[in-house]
Amino acid sequence: MRSPDLERVAETHFFIRPVLNASLKRHVLTPDGQLMSPGCGTYFDAWTQSLSDKFFDMGTLIRAAASIETSLRNCYMGFKGHSNLSALHRDPDYRQNIFQRVMPWQDNGGAIALMRTVGVDLTTFSELRSVQELVLHRHLYAHNLGVLDDRYIENLKTLTGTDIRSHPNVAHAYPHQDVFWFEPLGRLPQLIEDARSFLRGLP
């Protein structure tokens, strides 16, 4: 299955983002702008100093995860012969937001079990773990703006085996103050490519 939504996500990250970076680097800050952003010479400097680039990438990651949810929904609807969302909502096996519930601990009441009912076993997809991680990060960014909480930390440890409490950026401050977790954004290109490969495997 090819997802137009996910292809737009890839376009944003792999094409539009570099064009935006290059344009911002060419625009020199005015004296007033330099006063507002000390130490910055260009709009790119100010953009990255304020972490706006990180929040831009958060939006891209959120869209990528949403594309997974939508594609799973469309795949299921195709198998069940549902022509529209009203028909899906009348499906006795459907539950609201079920297609974003792809974690191992959600197997019995989530998308993995539901897709098995139409003959699609998501656990056979080599990219499933990467997709699960993408969806987990999406929840952190969409609902908590990237600020760590205990639930995310424990879920990430359960999913990946990694306890980020020992990470230098976390250990010195969490839980005494807000800590933004940007590490997944550095792996956004691979997460996008894994998501594309995952969706290509859907019937």
pLDDT digits 0-9 by tens, 73-100: 999 999 999 999 999 999 999 999 999 9
Does 173 reside within a domain?
no
What is d(CA 203, CA 188) in angstroms, rounded to the nearest whole number?
A: 25
Q: DSSP letter for 162, please.
A: -
CA pseudo-torsion sign 141, 85, 195, 2 = negative
Res 108: pLDDT = 83
Instruction: Label residue 62 by pLDDT band (50, 70, 90).
Output: very high
52-80 vs 128-144: helix crossing angle, rounded to 10 = 120
Q: What is the pTM of this model?
A: 0.94
Does 168 reside within a domain?
no
Res 25: pLDDT = 97
Instruction: Label residue 1 by pLDDT band (50, 70, 90).
Output: confident
Does 142 reside within a domain?
yes
Does 48 reside within a domain?
yes
First to last CA, the chain: 6
Mean pLDDT of the chain: 96
Res 53: pLDDT = 97
Considering its fold, how many domains does the chain have in total? 1
- Write out pLDDT tens, residues 100-154: 999 999 978 899 999 999 999 999 999 999 999 999 999 999 999 999 999 999 9
Does 49 reside within a domain?
yes
Does 170 reside within a domain?
no
What is d(CA 193, CA 9) in angstroms, rounded to the nearest whole number?
A: 10
* Residue 46: both structure tokens together: 């100010």
Does 98 reside within a domain?
yes
Instruction: Label residue 201 by pLDDT band (50, 70, 90).
Output: very high
Residue-number span of the structural domain to which 138 is assigned = 4-146+182-200
Does 130 reside within a domain?
yes
